[in-house]
């Protein structure tokens, strides 16, 4: 699927503000893919479709989670997590994208997962640092992203976990597992 076709399809699903965010994520993902040697086309497509299900009704997302045997524990946590796995399902069904790497980058862009692929890391981080994002700590993560993808991800996860803790919100276990996995990966790299 070509960029313009993907953007047209996604624009129909999003608010104007979220569409502009998507453009920022796409441009950031492409730059990160070029920098870190990932497949640029896959990064572009995954970024374009990452929020495809963001504005689907909660009941529809809940139904899809149950019908498609997605992890049921998702339903116990913040509904903001739902659009990622539901989005991966809908992108395959409605956009006809069957590339597992692209779908997994969409699926895990909110929670992360242990042993993330390069493409998954890029889409997760691009979503976090795209130019339209303005919040405490984002500039530090942007600077880290220029030098070390894993260290930027660790800082982004740390910020997210701390933000949720400060608001007394639950934290999806995969987010902790992702953080731990990246810490071990970086320690392994430093030990070499």
Please give the average per-residue pLDDT across 128-146, as a whole number. 97
Mean pLDDT score of the chain? 96
**pLDDT tens digits, 110-122:** 999 999 999 999 9
Alpha helices in 37-99 (DSSP H): 40-49, 58-67, 83-90
Angle at 29 between CA 129 and CA 172, to 5 degrees: 60
Residue 47 reports pLDDT greater than 90? yes
pLDDT at 188: 86
Residue 191 has pLDDT above 80, yes or no: no
pLDDT of amino acid 114: 97
With contact defined as beta carbons under 8 Å apart, do 116 and 108 qualify?
A: yes
- The closest alpha carbon to 142, from 48, 161, 151, belongs to 151
CB 14 within 8 A of CB 55: yes
Percent share of the chain, pLDDT over 90:
97
Q: Count of alpha carbons within 13 Å of 192, Cβ hemisphere only?
A: 5
Most distant CA pair in the chain: distance in Å?
Answer: 49
Model confidence band, residue 190 (pLDDT cutoffs 50, 70, 90): confident
pLDDT at residue 145 greater than cutoff 80: yes
Mean predicted confidence (pLDDT) in 78-93: 97
3 state SS of 166: helix
Query: Taking residues 56-79, what's their average pLDDT?
Result: 96
The predicted-structure confidence for 16-35, as pLDDT tens digits, reads as follows: 999 999 999 999 999 999 99
pLDDT-based confidence at 192, cuts 50/70/90?
A: confident
Residue 161 burial (10 A CB sphere; 0-12, 13-18, 19+):
middle
Q: How far apart are CA 179 and CA 156, in angstroms?
A: 9
**Percent over 70 (pLDDT), the chain:** 100
**pLDDT given at position 189:** 79
**153-177 per-position pLDDT tens digit:** 999 999 999 999 999 999 999 999 9
**What are the structural domains, with CATH classification, of the chain?**
3-135 (1.10.3210.10)
pLDDT exceeds 80 at position 150:
yes
């Amino acid at each position: 699927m070509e960029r313009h076709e993907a953007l047209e399809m996604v624009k129909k699903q999003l608010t104007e503000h979220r569409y502009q965010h998507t453009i920022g994520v796409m441009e950031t993902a492409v730059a990160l893919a070029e920098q870190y040697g990932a497949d640029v086309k896959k990064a572009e497509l995954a970024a374009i479709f990452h929020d495809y299900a963001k504005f689907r009704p909660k009941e529809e997302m809940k139904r899809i989670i149950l019908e498609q045997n997605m992890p049921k524990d998702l339903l116990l946590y913040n509904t903001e997590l739902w659009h990622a796995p539901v989005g991966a399902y809908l992108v395959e069904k409605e956009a006809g994208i069957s590339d597992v790497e692209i779908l997994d980058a969409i699926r895990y862009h909110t929670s992360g997962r242990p042993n993330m692929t390069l493409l998954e890391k890029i889409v997760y981080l691009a979503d976090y640092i795209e130019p339209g994002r303005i919040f405490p700590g984002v500039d530090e993560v942007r600077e880290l992203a220029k030098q070390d993808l894993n260290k930027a991800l660790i800082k982004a996860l740390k910020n997210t976990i701390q933000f949720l803790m400060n608001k007394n919100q639950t934290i999806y276990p995969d987010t902790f597992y992702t953080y731990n996995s990246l810490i071990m990966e970086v320690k392994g790299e430093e030990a070499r």
